[in-house]
Structure 1
Amino acid sequence: MTPVEERLKRRIALTGPISVADYMAACVGDPDGYYARQEPFGASGDFVTAPEISQMFGEIVGAWLLDRWRADGAPDGIDLVELGPGRGTLMADILRVVRRDPRFIAASRVVLVESSQRLRKRQAETIGGLHPRLSFADRPPRERPLYLVANEFFDALPIRQFVRQDSRWFERTVGVEGDRLLFGLSPFPAPVTGEAPDGAVREVCAMGEAIARDIAETLTTHGKGAALIVDYGYADAIGGETLQAVHRHDHAEVLDRPGEVDLSAHVDFGALGRAAARGGAKAHGPVGQGAFLVALGLVERAGQLGTGASTETQDEIRAAVNRLAGVGPGEMGDLFKAMALTVTADIPPGFAPG
């Protein structure tokens, strides 16, 4: 039994079954939880993110953020922000691009939104001397214009699940039977609307929507800035259960080994876009990650990196392009999507129709 599981069982014994969102939050936020104790990233961890597949991903994101800053008139006093920076790989690649414009470095500070003290230390080591002003925060800052990226951040936020039964919606819960955690349903109907057949599942990420709205309000308040969200998910709510667990790159059971396996759910980009609209911002997309990266020069950058390189290196670059932008099994080009939040309705690079 993991320490997180032991605490969860004691909690449930005292207060009764908890929501799926509370279960996910405990698995992540407990002092012995996933991001506090586990090493989730990379080939030796539970999953590999796009920045770790190739530097090209971070370079393109960095160029996009730099372009948005220049389009705003190169304002001073800005925050370059990443939500959930992992090991700092993405921000390091972004900084190597934006450092080409000394004005951007002079105008900015880097803010990493990270709750894990262990990961904060790793991020500081990775970024090192790439920027003279680095700070950490528990939530996106609001006092300055934001140029923000969130890659595989929203998928890890806690979700609530609702199940249709007898023509009504009931919240799914996590309880204990014997010595096992198991799913159940609240005995009280939930205030959820919408028709669906019995057995249908609906997932809601209230925290994700609140964060999207906060970002939008900050953009609107300052009249400038931009946010780029990249994650796996769908363009709008389609119903169905997407909560999953992964351990060592393989499927795991959601209720097994709490705090030791990665939990995530597909992102409802439609809900994020509507939340951003309530905050006054304009949402662009989502578009497939592959289409976004190709439109911004992924193939051309791969050609630059491959010129004069060994055959082995060229093969590695080609494989990285396919992994990032392809649409076949195990490739990220269609499953992963990109959405931009901006102040104006002007379409940013990578989001033009077609």
Structure 2
Amino acid sequence: MAETLAEIFRRLIRNTGPISVSQFMGESNARYYDSRDPLGSAGDFITAPEISQMFGELIGLWLADMWINAGRDEYVQYVELGPGRGTLAKDALRAARKYGFVPPVHFVEGSATLREEQAKAFAEAQFHNDLSTLPVDVPLVFVANEFLDALPVRQLVRTGQGWRERMVALGEDERFVFVAGDRPMDSAVPADWRDADPGTILETCPGAAATLYEVAGRLVEQGGTALFIDYGYETLEAGSTLQAVRAHDKVDPLAEPGSADLTALVDFGTLARVAQSREARHIGTVEQGAWLSALGIEARAQALAAKAPHYAAELEEAKQRLIAPDQMGSLFKVMGLAGPGWNGGVGFTSD
């Protein structure tokens, strides 16, 4: 029988000492996503595209509008990061097709299991392990829904001796526990946080920053636009946001590495500054509920209900789940970026 990731981590910690939260999260999610399809009621969680077709349709209309305003470039191509089962792309491109927007499809996906599902929806899609193999000579439109939150975070904790990296060690009962590392990390902390109270925890996500840096650079060099949709905050906040979900319930993130989806809140404020450092246009960052409402989700729900009255209650429930402040509406944010010549951006308040 293959060794579990928990056994591998325990052996590694015994031999070399505590491992970083980033390593624990990264290897856990790699094992998790490569071993299953986590989506849907039979899986561990449900994302917005699985809740209602309205979500993807409105994204498709937003992309088509941006494309039309940019002059209908015939070479533009669609890129989705972490496309799940391909549901969002299917709904988005079906809606966009009505306006002549029919781009080639690229999926950035590392999970072999999910690639099989995506290929069922898009047999012609080109697959990529990362952004490096995407086309470099055409405009790109990017969509990333609940992609950034699964990238490994680095946690820093303020101790009596200064800032240290938060690590994962073994407790007396062989359970995984959080500990502070022994290397000073004060230089990695923003100046206005360095004198925070002991016990304060800050998170950074190098992978998310690298992704935004690459996407923004491509938008400036090649043209195009991008939507990043995830749960997170607009300014850096203290505290650990690391969580794990299995079978639609929150579980201990350290209990069984590789068997649950590990995520953390996205720091959209920092990521916007990263994108702007490449001179990409930050169209704005707004709450998902407000953005979908501005794009017309109310009218779309009414139109669907008129065609299928027996689904009216279900459509209303799905709409509320997407936009209500106490559900996904406020916690989830939508960030828009654009390259030169890609104007507009319905639903955002421009900088």
Q: Please, what TM-score do these two structures have when normalized by structure 2?
A: 0.92
Q: Partner letter of residue 38 of structure 1?
A: R
Q: Does structure 1 retain, via aligned residues, the 8 Å contact 2:284–2:337?
A: no
Match of 2:330 in 1: 334
Instruction: Find the aligned partners of 2:9 and 2:76 in 1 and give their Cα distance.
Output: 41
Match of 1:302 in 2: 301
SS at match of 2:329: coil
Matched, 1:119 2:126: no
- Map 1:93-132 → 2, pairs under 5 A: 93-102=91-100, 104-105=101-102, 108-128=103-123
> Which range moves more in the overlay, 138-147 or 227-236?
138-147
- Map 1:180-191 → 2, pairs under 5 A: 180-190=175-185, 191=187
Match of 2:215 in 1: 215
**How far 1:351 moved relative to its partner?**
0.2
Match of 2:346 in 1: 349
Q: Partner letter of residue 27 of structure 2?
A: A
Q: Does structure 1 retain, via aligned residues, the 8 Å contact 2:37–2:114?
A: no
Instruction: Find the aligned partners of 2:97 and 2:283 in 1 and give their Cα distance.
Output: 27
SS at match of 1:228: strand
**How far 1:142 moved relative to its partner?**
5.0
Q: Does structure 2 retain, via aligned residues, the 8 Å contact 1:2–1:259?
A: no
Instruction: Find the aligned partners of 1:60 and 1:38 in 2 and give their Cα distance.
Output: 29
- Map 1:66-77 → 2, pairs under 5 A: 66-77=64-75
CA RMSD of aligned residues (A): 1.7
| 2:83 paired residue among 82, 85, 103 | 85
Instruction: Find the aligned partners of 2:69 and 2:3 in 1 and give their Cα distance.
Output: 50
Q: Does structure 2 retain, via aligned residues, the 8 Å contact 1:114–1:138?
A: yes
Instruction: Find the aligned partners of 2:304 and 2:58 in 1 and give their Cα distance.
Output: 13
Q: Does structure 2 retain, via aligned residues, the 8 Å contact 1:82–1:113?
A: yes
**How far 1:346 moved relative to its partner?**
4.8
| 2:319 paired residue among 318, 321, 338 | 321
Q: Does structure 2 retain, via aligned residues, the 8 Å contact 1:69–1:75?
A: yes
Q: Partner letter of residue 75 of structure 2?
A: G
- Map 1:55-70 → 2, pairs under 5 A: 55-70=53-68
User: Cα–Cα, structure 1 residues 245 and 213, in superposed 2: closer, same or farther, change >3 Å?
Assistant: same
Match of 1:282 in 2: 281
Deviations 1:155-180 (A, max 9, x none): 00000000111262110001223522
**How far 1:215 moved relative to its partner?**
0.2
- Map 1:9-48 → 2, pairs under 5 A: 9-29=10-30, 33-48=31-46
Q: Does structure 2 retain, via aligned residues, the 8 Å contact 1:2–1:258?
A: no
Q: Does structure 2 retain, via aligned residues, the 8 Å contact 1:142–1:218?
A: no
Instruction: Find the aligned partners of 1:18 and 1:279 in 2 and give their Cα distance.
Output: 33
Deviations 1:219-264 (A, max 9, x none): 0012x20000110000110111111011111110011111001100
- Map 1:208-287 → 2, pairs under 5 A: 208-222=208-222, 224-287=223-286
Q: Partner letter of residue 154 of structure 1?
A: L
Instruction: Find the aligned partners of 2:178 and 2:303 in 1 and give their Cα distance.
Output: 52
Q: Does structure 2 retain, via aligned residues, the 8 Å contact 1:232–1:337?
A: yes
Q: Does structure 2 retain, via aligned residues, the 8 Å contact 1:161–1:171?
A: yes
**How far 1:49 moved relative to its partner?**
0.5
| 2:130 paired residue among 124, 136, 139 | 139
Matched, 1:202 2:202: yes
Instruction: Find the aligned partners of 2:155 and 2:163 in 1 and give their Cα distance.
Output: 10
Deviations 1:274-306 (A, max 9, x none): 111112212232111010001001001111101
Runs of 4 or more consecutive aligned structure 1 residues displaced over 3 Å after TM superposition: 344-347
Instruction: Find the aligned partners of 1:213 and 1:258 in 2 and give their Cα distance.
Output: 29
**How far 1:207 moved relative to its partner?**
0.7
Report how many residues are paired.
339
Q: Partner letter of residue 212 of structure 1?
A: L
Instruction: Find the aligned partners of 1:186 and 1:167 in 2 and give their Cα distance.
Output: 11
Q: Does structure 2 retain, via aligned residues, the 8 Å contact 1:51–1:58?
A: yes
Q: Partner letter of residue 122 of structure 2?
A: I
Q: Partner letter of residue 89 of structure 2?
A: M
SS at match of 2:274: helix
**How far 1:119 moved relative to its partner?**
0.7
Q: Partner letter of residue 109 of structure 1?
A: P
Instruction: Find the aligned partners of 2:238 and 2:120 in 1 and give their Cα distance.
Output: 41
